Chains A and B, each alone.
Chain A
Amino acid sequence: MAERTAIDEAKRGSAELLILALVEDTDLHGYEIARQIELRSSGTLTFTLAGLYATLYRLEAKRWISGRWVEKAGQRRRRHYRLTAEGHKVLAVQRADWVKFVEALGQVAGVRFA
């Protein structure tokens, strides 16, 4: 149980970082974000439908990302998300924090970062 909880916590904390990182350079819609995370983590990290969109809405409410509806001919309209200026700052800080955190983990628990 204890191991699972630790990973869950880490996942929850990292979810925001992951999403911010994904929309850093490109506009993505919800499905693409979910897919990218799944692919890049080789299926280790998955979101439930509600979990993904709740996180997106939360980030949007914090004004770290902004969403806009995009309609293309013959397609369903989709909401695209991208990082805001504010989000860029937050992302930079969170990245630095994570690097520190992982280094600390490595020294204390012997976990090696690739």
Chain B
Amino acid sequence: VTPSGWRRLVARHAESTGVDLSPQTVDELAAHLEDLYLGARADGQSDSAAREQAEKALETSGLRPLRREPRPDPRRPYHGLANDVVAASRNRSLAMLYALRMALRQLRLHPAFSLLTILVLGLGTGAATVVYTVVDTVVLRALPYERPDRLVKLWDTNLERGVARDPFSPVTFMDYRALPTFQEAAAWWRPDVNLVDPGLEPVRVRTIETSSNLFRVLGVSPAVGPGFAREEYLHHPSELQAVISDRLWRTRYHADEGLIGRQLSFNDTPYLIVGIMPPGFLFPDEVDVWQRLSWDLSQHSRNAHFMEGVARLADDATLERATADARRLATRLGNEFAASNQGWAFAVVPLLEDQLGYYRPALYVLVGAVGLLLVIGCLNVASLLLTRALSREREMAVRTAVGAAPRQIAAQLASEGLILSLAGALVGLVIAFVALPVVVAFVPVEVPRLAEAAINGRVLALSLGLVAAMTMGFGLVPALVLLNRQIGTDLRSGDRGSSRGARRLYQGLVVAEVALACALLVSSVLLVRTVSRMMQVPLGVDGGSAVIASVQLTPESGSLAGWAKVGALHSEILARLREQPGITSVGSTNRLPLENGWRGALARPDQAAAPPTDQPQAQHISVSEGYFESMGARLVEGRFFSDRDGVGAEAVVILNETAARRYFGTESGIGRELRSWSSQIGPLGRNLTWRELDGGHRVQPGLRVVGVVADTQNVALGVAVEPAAYFPTRQFPFAAVTLVINARDTATAVLGLKQVLHQVSPHTPIGVVETWPARFAARTAEPRLLMSTLSAFGALAAFLAALGVYGLFSWSVALRRRELAIRLTLGARPVSVASRVIGQSALLVVIGLLTGFALMQGARHLLASVLFGVEPNDPVSTTVAGAFLLLAALVASIPPAWRAMHVDPVEGLRVE
């Protein structure tokens, strides 16, 4: 027996018993048999006996245990896996696997189509994931307080005057606080505070002076220290206590626990530090110091709107009941204190909604927009797949003819959809992971909590859900279309996809795309108009590129002399600034435009008999000489203030036009007198022109009106200008003022201010420094951000819709080449053929636009909350958006129209 003979023997035996052996096993068994044979021969057996022994060993052994295991093929690494899957599902998934492989091959055959589709879907899911992550973090996550859904922010509102959210009076707060719908309510105001420590740079710290129960209302305790004592009283005049933020504690005091029980100097007044709040606690907004209220809230004026508050609803109370109760109380207070409370009512706003403000509706609009964009993307891909499916009708017909079940064809089309959407989702996730940090870092406004945004499990689940929806959407739609059609007939006729049903569906998809794109475009145009309206509101001032810096001086004592010194110091700072090189004009005020001034009673002497609470209110604003000039305010009549309007001089006042009209009608007010009852505004400012009469009684001499200035926007944008009286800083000094400096450039202004402050008052820190344009831009930053995002989405949507129109008419022209050729042969003019195409596309787009406008009506309320000065069904916006879409669609139908015009008439004679 030759060595190869043993091999043959094994192989033959394996074959005869139906066992598949690997060549290695055959080799090994052959060697074994040979050894067995040689061994038997060595034992002295005859050649035939030895051979018989070896053959017997082979024959008596079943070879089945040795049968070949399927080995992984390096070229087809998942072949084995596929087999396992098939085995596990008892061959049922074979069809699906086959379909997947077919689908992959299809996509590889059309790489441009596949990449474009995946990119469209990827951008869609990516944008959706980012927007959803932001919404999830910013809007949906609960606030870090105890049972935050029971917390409400309190505001004063006045519908008659269009004031949506105003601070309230401490006296009025005490009335509302007693409502049984509130378990407990806390109130605070925002003093300007200089923090001065020996050896450290003095700083301005954001501070609130709050009723002692604030932390109890929120359900948050200090991380270090006992905090404010849990007492019944909201204020404590004797002991000045404060709690500071974790970040101030760490950055300025190196997290020294010994700070508890020590005193810090706020505005030159020592406060005992009794607590450090937990990290991240900066309620209500970026606050670093919480001072315990030291004065009685009920001992103040009902006209002084300067406090904010938060309340915890009682366990059995609802928001609706709290609102109703507040309204009832407002009516009672309005009757009882007509001059101060008429028209005012407390608004009860869920805390989260309040903290998010504009961002909540804005983010919802954004979610809607990105959802629309995604749907448009899906529709686009669906229509692309549909054309592909229709152009493959014959392929499908052939397959059906050779025995493919309709189910198999549907499975194949669905797998193409599945692969596309999975790849799209993958690309989308990558985009989201890359884009989210970029978005968070580069959003130009401070969105609350945005920095915490991170992609989490919920977001991933959403992406997967999107994939599922997308697969359903465009994998199955073309599949169903094909199934519903008589595939067999197409094979016979050679007629390609002229069927009405498919075209209807295609047209439907394009109309839907146009409709959704229309809704998006109208929204973005509305936002563009909102922003331009905001920018166009006449402010009454022209700050140019003035630099704004706030400075606070603390009077050494509340005495007249102390306040006179503050006034003099402010004047000196201004005077020295004017001497600095490069500085052209300087002024100061305690309230810039767009901020409310302190409201107080102001009346003509002949109408001043009634008590001040019944007198009309006007804003009391203190401005220095040079302020109106450096803010570019316009003098209507009389004169501006000068350095002669000092303490010893006559008490003077300048009115805005609204106030002048109210007090003097059409007559000139110059030289006339007015009366104010405000001798001081808390610890903030003091009127120095009040005279002490015999018996210690103090009176305000008549205020001489010396000028009238054009109205400046002295309330928020969109609210009617209020009457205002301007007092000269020298006569009515305030501790904290905002300087307005016009200089060669910002650096010159800041440097000049630093030098002057160093000379005049070395311990005074400079507060926020910014330019007037930046400050004004910040007021419109939120709608501007929404505007740019929506515009980008809208443009993308319009592009996708135009792509859809292009695809539809390209397909339709390609299908009708023969028909068009025949028409042209019969004498139809090419132009009329082309205009037919364009006319059809225009009709389709108009239907889409109308549908889109109808859709918009559903989102009107949401949109209204992010608009300013425009209505959601603003005709200009709808016209602009409609025209833009129509134009885009027409441009998109030009190439197919061109092709229709240039069909070769000979083609009509050709037989396929």
Contact = CB atoms under 8 A, between A and B. Distances in A.
Interface string A31-43: 1101100000000
B66 A31 contact: no
Contact of B35 (A31, A50, A79): A31
B32 A31 contact: yes
B888 to A, nearest CB: 65
A78 B33 CA distance: 12
B268 interface: no
Given A57-B66, A76-B3, A49 B29 contact: yes
Contact of B32 (A49, A57, A77): A49
B64 A79 contact: no
Contacts of A35: 39
A50 B65 contact: yes
A48 B62 CA distance: 8
Interface in B1-39: 3, 24-25, 27-36, 39
Contacts of B29: 49, 53
A50 B31 contact: no
B34 A76 contact: yes
A30 B32 contact: yes
Contacts of A29: 31, 35
B57 interface: yes
A54 interface: yes
Contacts of A79: 24, 27-28, 31
Contacts of B30: 76
B58 interface: yes
Contacts of A78: 28, 31
A113 to B, nearest CB: 31
Given A35-B39, A49-B58, A50-B65, A76 B31 contact: yes
B60 interface: yes
A51 interface: yes
A32 B39 CA distance: 10
A31 B63 contact: no
Contact of A48 (B3, B33, B60): B60
A7 B651 CA distance: 123
Q: Is the contact region of chain A dominated by helix, strand, or loop, or is it mixed?
A: helix
Contacts of B35: 29, 31-32
Contacts of A49: 29, 32-33, 57-58, 61, 63
Contacts of A48: 57, 60-62
B36 A31 contact: yes
A78 to B, nearest CB: 5
A103 B33 CA distance: 39
Contact of A51 (B31, B34, B36, B65): B65
Contact of B25 (A51, A53, A77): A53
Contacts of A30: 28, 31-32
A29 B27 CA distance: 12
A76 B10 CA distance: 15
Best-surrounded residue of A29, A34, A49, A77 (most CB of chain B within 10 A):
A49
A84 to B, nearest CB: 19
Contacts of B64: 50
A50 B66 contact: yes
Contacts of A77: 27, 31
For chain B, which range describes its interface: under 10, 10 to 19, 20 to 34, or 35 or more residues?
20 to 34
Nearest to B57: A49
Interface in B62-88: 62-66
Best-surrounded residue of B27, B34, B63, B65 (most CB of chain A within 10 A):
B65
Nearest to A67: B28
B831 to A, nearest CB: 78
Nearest to A47: B61
A54 B66 contact: yes
A50 B36 contact: no
Interface string A49-61: 1110110010000
B574 to A, nearest CB: 89
Contact of A50 (B3, B33, B61): B61
Nearest to B25: A53
Nearest to A48: B61
B58 A53 contact: no
Nearest to A55: B65
Contacts of B58: 49
Contacts of B32: 30-31, 34, 49, 53
Nearest to B60: A48
Contact of B62 (A34, A50, A76): A50
Interface string B24-56: 110111111111100100000000000000000
Nearest to B19: A50
A34 to B, nearest CB: 8
A51 B63 CA distance: 9
Nearest to B64: A50
B60 to A, nearest CB: 6
A48 B57 CA distance: 7
A58 B299 CA distance: 94
Interface string A1-45: 000000000000000000000000000011110110000000000
Best-surrounded residue of A35, A50, A78 (most CB of chain B within 10 A):
A50
A51 B28 contact: no
Contacts of A50: 61-66
Contacts of B62: 48, 50
Contacts of B65: 50-51, 53-54
B42 to A, nearest CB: 11
A49 B6 CA distance: 14
A50 to B, nearest CB: 4
Contacts of B3: 76
Contacts of B25: 53
B270 to A, nearest CB: 76
Contacts of B66: 50, 53-54, 57
Nearest to B6: A76
A85 to B, nearest CB: 24
A64 B380 CA distance: 58
Contacts of A54: 65-66
Contacts of B33: 49
A53 B58 CA distance: 12
A54 B92 CA distance: 32
A68 B549 CA distance: 85
Nearest to A77: B27
Nearest to A34: B32
A89 to B, nearest CB: 26
Contacts of B39: 31, 35
A35 B32 CA distance: 11
A69 B594 CA distance: 91
Nearest to A46: B57
Nearest to A57: B66
Best-surrounded residue of B33, B34, B66 (most CB of chain A within 10 A):
B66
Nearest to A33: B32
B27 A51 contact: no
Contacts of B27: 76-77, 79
Nearest to A31: B35
A76 to B, nearest CB: 5
Interface in B181-224: none
Contacts of B36: 31
Contacts of B60: 48
A78 B27 CA distance: 8
Interface of B: 3, 24-25, 27-36, 39, 57-58, 60-66
Given A32-B35, A51-B65, 16 more contacts: A30-B28, A31-B31, A31-B32, A31-B36, A48-B57, A48-B60, A49-B61, A50-B62, A50-B66, A53-B28, A53-B29, A53-B65, A54-B66, A57-B66, A76-B3, A77-B27
8 contacts: A35-B39, A48-B57, A50-B61, A50-B64, A54-B65, A76-B27, A77-B27, A77-B31
Name the 3 nearest CB pairs between A and B, nearest first: A54-B65, A31-B35, A49-B61
